[in-house]
Structure 1
Amino acid sequence: MRLDELLDELQARIDEVRGTRDRVHSLLEAVVSVGRELDLAQVLRRIVEAAALLVDAEYGALGVIGPDGRTLAQFLTVGLTDGQIADIGPLPAGHGLLGEVIHHPEPLRLTDLGAHSSSYGFPAHHPPMRTFLGVPIRVRDEVFGNLYLTDKRGGVDFDTEDETVISTLSVAAGVAIDNARLYEGARRQQLWLRANAEITESLLSGSSRPAVLELIARRAQEITAARLANIAVPVDGVDGLVVEFAAGADGAAWQGLVVPFDGTLSGAAHRAGKPVTAMQASDDGRYPAEGRTRGRDGLGPAVAVPLGTAGGESRGVLLLSRPAGDPAFGEGELEPIVAFAGQAAIALELAERRRDAEQIALLEERDRIARDLHDLAIQRLFATGMTLQSAARLVEHEGAAERVGRAVDDLDETIKIIRSTIFGLRTKDRESGPGLRARAARAVGDAAASLGHPPRLSMEGLLDTDVPARLADHVVAVLGELLSNAARHARATRVGVTLKAARGEIVLTVSDNGTGIPAQGRRSGLRNLDERARDMDGSFTIETPEKGGSRLVWRAPLPGSR
């Protein structure tokens, strides 16, 4: 009997050694598996999966601590289905028991997590959990995040050996995360350098301002994995920034939008002259107006970077936003983004200089034409008129003399016309005052206060050069009346303005999702708009889209198109 007891004890010790060997082997496999990946997202996923497998936990999670050091910027789970995650709702932010490990980065093992003083229960549809093991993950003596494991299978508690195994895994995880971050940083730096070279080449090749801004926004969106990238610039007379180009999800909703200076990320970055970040831009209390300018799905982690120049003045703002739940923009990412934004500032400045040079060249060419007309054409016409006038005295035939006299009068009239043309050439571009583009942007910006939200503005064509002053005055007056009607009568939550000069006509379209044009009511304002259109040989139409609201279109031909 004593021999049987010794044999049983020996077998138990052998089983224990085998179990320890298997666990060590599993730990080594987990370390190798985690260290094999270089993509940070895959590394984090492998870590939490390996941790749950090593201690036989039913549920596991990895929380990445945000830049503020107090909340979770990312939360990856194992054991929950997509349906359960959707039913639970927003991911944890790092409060309660999860925050306990954040504030005190030491291993925490509990038999009943609900009994802990920091626990305040689970949200609706959350599966019940009892046992708990939390271990911090450090990267170069800095706490990167925490591993959370609950409900060891078999109904047993997590023991000291489980804590040791997960603590060992967390050390290997820290090294793997550091390697992945270094690799990701090097790869991202290479992408930024390549994008900078592409933009420089585009600038030197003489690409237009819109083309360069589009290239900047799209490359920034691709490199940062942003859901949305837009570039907003200040416009004279508008209390805000106008989105000149937007790429990504809801890009169409942002295009031409007037973003207020107060209460928005872009406005704060423009005024401060330095980058501004937010963990969840659409829900950040520091920027209450952001929710009125965002797309339908809202903004996740976001950063707004001013497009600065050597003089320190911001020429606009580059806004990047990732999907909700993605990692926030860290300090390591801001430096290349700021350098990249400098390329956008150069593009804007170069476009302005190029436009100024073209304007100067145009003025010089007009001065040359005027000078040639005065010094050559008028003098020759005048000399020809004098010759004809002298010859008329020698013509004896009365009819011929009369015809020569009429020719002299025609030459005098032609000289007057040419002189008038010379005067027009020399004064046309010296007139002061903003162009139609700036006036339209100002009218849309002014309407934001009465509407309660900024309208969306889109402008196309050569509005400042092809549209004469009188027609531009009509367009601005019509735009103001239509926006005023939308604010007073339509009760709309979305208003869009499109101003286009193309194909020989200018077209102003104002659409909204309001109550539409009432059948009974004052129509004097609309009659005035129709009279303005007829006065310019144009038309004014009112349309009712299938989805409701109204669409008002005012158009008029441009000079030379009739």
Structure 2
Amino acid sequence: MASNQVPVKDVTVVLANLREIAEAVMQAASAGTLEQALQQIAEVTRELVGVRYVALGVPDGMGSLKYFKTVGLTPEEIARIGNYPQGCGLLGTIMDNREVVRLDNIAEDERSAGFPPHHPVMTTLLGVPIQLGDQFFGILYLCDRFDGQPFTEEDQWLVETLAGYAALALAGVQLSEQHARLVLLEERERVARELHDGIIQSLYAIGMQLQLIRLTQQHPDSNLPDIIHQLDQVIEDIRSYIMNLRTSTYERQTVRQCLEDVIARLHVPSALKVHLDAPQRLPPFPAPVLESVCQIAAEALSNVIRHAGASMVRVAAAETDEVFRLVIEDNGRGFDPCEDCHEGMGLRNMRQRARIHGGQVNIHSIEGVGTRVAVTIPLNSKK
């Protein structure tokens, strides 16, 4: 049923529902980030329809989910379930087809892949896409009304209507975030100009002084120490600029954003499918640790692209109260660790970066099966 086909019911109820939807969408549109807007839409959907569980899944374009916001599960339940859904089974089918699905019994549907361990059993399902023209934002998944009844046409109309307005709100939030990124790029260009017009020009001036001394003085040694000191100071200024730029960038990034940037920079070939599973929140450690994590991921993925001959690689990041874990696992040709006993520079750098923060890198590979790189960094080191 299309969202403009209103179920026959009391007009006052329809107007009340529309007012609730309008207020909810306005609140979501004013959210500071896309992630906050998604969470607010999921929460108001649950309240509006009266269901136990709501999830809002947003694809990442690489076969997995960029965001998966849930309402109705406790933090303990979420922790026991573990990683995001991987876009398989019924949820993946709804995501691929982008059509409304209403089921009275999830288990009886042939597309269902069942629930993972520790996942609460859910019976009824209403899945509605959020899209604006050709722009697809994600899917709203609703499970199990509080009254135990199956979802109705009225429920479907409500959620479709909400999804339509939510698409407008999410498009607005995305535009705001894109504008913020453009402002950041402009700021970086400004800093680059300052480097060129200030520090780099100072280097040129010092170089000219050295050249003048070489040409005009027979014994220039007495003047060189001061000039060399100036040169060292300028070089240190450049390093400070660069480090400040790096740190400020990583301080604003989530683990997922960091890994997405790594994947984008590597220009992954189309034959290699990358599945990314990483939290979309600020990491529980300082920016230098995140920078090391990104560099390790970049080196491991680069090895997969260049040497593994793989068709799939999975990048998974997760954390507990005590440790952060990053796993890069491919289905490529693998290698025999006994024969490849000499570590290359890339692997040594990976181990060294992890060791700086009290962590370690473990590599497990089987010929003809693939390779698994596991990075663990204790969260109590915070270096």
Deviation per CA, 1:512-562, whole angstroms, max 9, x where unpaired? xxxxxxxxxxxx9xxx9x966753332369xxxxxxxxxx9921689xx74
Query: Which of 189, 195, 199 pairs up with 2:25?
Result: 199
Residue 509 and residue 405 in structure 1: after superposition, are their counterparts in 2 closer, same or farther (change >3 A)?
Answer: closer
Name the counterpart of 1:407.
Answer: 226
Identical positions, percent = 18
**Alpha-carbon distance between aligned partners in 1 of 2:176 and 2:21, rounded to the nearest angstrom:** 22
Query: Which of 314, 324, 341 pairs up with 1:507?
Result: 324
**Alpha-carbon distance between aligned partners in 2 of 1:371 and 1:532, rounded to the nearest angstrom:** 34
**Alpha-carbon distance between aligned partners in 1 of 2:240 and 2:82, rounded to the nearest angstrom:** 40
1:111-260 alignment, distance < 5 Å: 182-183=9-10, 186-187=12-13, 189-204=15-30, 206-238=31-63, 240-241=64-65, 244-249=68-73, 252-253=77-78, 256-260=83-87
Contact 2:25-2:165 at 8 Å conserved across structures: yes
Name the counterpart of 1:369.
Answer: 191
Deviation at 1:303, TM superposition (A): 0.5
Deviation per CA, 1:265-285, whole angstroms, max 9, x where unpaired? x3233222221110122x232
Deviation per CA, 1:408-464, whole angstroms, max 9, x where unpaired? 2333455566678889979x99xxxx95444999xxxxxxxxxxxx9986453169x
Deviation per CA, 1:457-482, whole angstroms, max 9, x where unpaired? 6453169x946665325358999xxx
1:153-552 alignment, distance < 5 Å: 182-183=9-10, 186-187=12-13, 189-204=15-30, 206-238=31-63, 240-241=64-65, 244-249=68-73, 252-253=77-78, 256-261=83-88, 263-264=89-90, 266-281=91-106, 283-289=107-113, 291-293=114-116, 296-311=119-134, 313-323=135-145, 326-380=148-202, 382-383=204-205, 386=208, 402-413=221-232, 436-438=258-260, 458-461=279-282, 466=287, 471-474=293-296, 498-499=318-319, 507-508=324-325, 535-539=355-359
Q: Match for 1:535: what amino acid?
A: R
Name the counterpart of 1:58.
Answer: none
Contact 2:54-2:143 at 8 Å conserved across structures: yes
Contact 2:67-2:280 at 8 Å conserved across structures: no
**Alpha-carbon distance between aligned partners in 2 of 1:382 and 1:557, rounded to the nearest angstrom:** 44
**Alpha-carbon distance between aligned partners in 1 of 2:194 and 2:317, rounded to the nearest angstrom:** 44
SS in 2 for 1:260: coil
Which of structures 1 and 2 has the bigger CA Rg?
Answer: 1
Residue 403 and residue 275 in structure 1: after superposition, are their counterparts in 2 closer, same or farther (change >3 A)?
Answer: farther
The gaps in structure 2 that reach 5 residues or longer are 2-6, 250-255, 264-274, 302-315, 328-340, 342-347, 362-373
Deviation at 1:214, TM superposition (A): 1.6
Deviation per CA, 1:389-422, whole angstroms, max 9, x where unpaired? 76899999x8xx6453122233345556667888
Deviation at 1:370, TM superposition (A): 1.4
Residue 201 and residue 218 in structure 1: after superposition, are their counterparts in 2 closer, same or farther (change >3 A)?
Answer: closer
Q: CA RMSD in A?
A: 5.1
Per the normalisation by structure 1, the TM-score is 0.44
Deviation per CA, 1:61-99, whole angstroms, max 9, x where unpaired? xxxxxx9xxxxxxxxxxxxxxxxxxxxxxxxxxxxxxxx
Q: Match for 1:536: what amino acid?
A: I
SS in 2 for 1:194: helix
**Alpha-carbon distance between aligned partners in 2 of 1:308 and 1:225, rounded to the nearest angstrom:** 23
Deviation at 1:258, TM superposition (A): 1.7
Deviation at 1:338, TM superposition (A): 1.4
Residue 250 and residue 213 in structure 1: after superposition, are their counterparts in 2 closer, same or farther (change >3 A)?
Answer: same
How many matched pairs? 309
Q: Which has the higher contact order (CA 8 A, sep 6+)?
A: 2
The gaps in structure 1 that reach 5 residues or longer are 1-66, 68-177, 442-453, 480-495, 511-523, 542-551
Q: Match for 1:247: what amino acid?
A: V
Q: Match for 1:404: what amino acid?
A: N
**Alpha-carbon distance between aligned partners in 2 of 1:537 and 1:227, rounded to the nearest angstrom:** 42
Residue 249 and residue 388 in structure 1: after superposition, are their counterparts in 2 closer, same or farther (change >3 A)?
Answer: closer
Q: Match for 2:149: what amino acid?
A: P
Per the normalisation by structure 2, the TM-score is 0.61
Contact 1:440-1:476 at 8 Å conserved across structures: yes
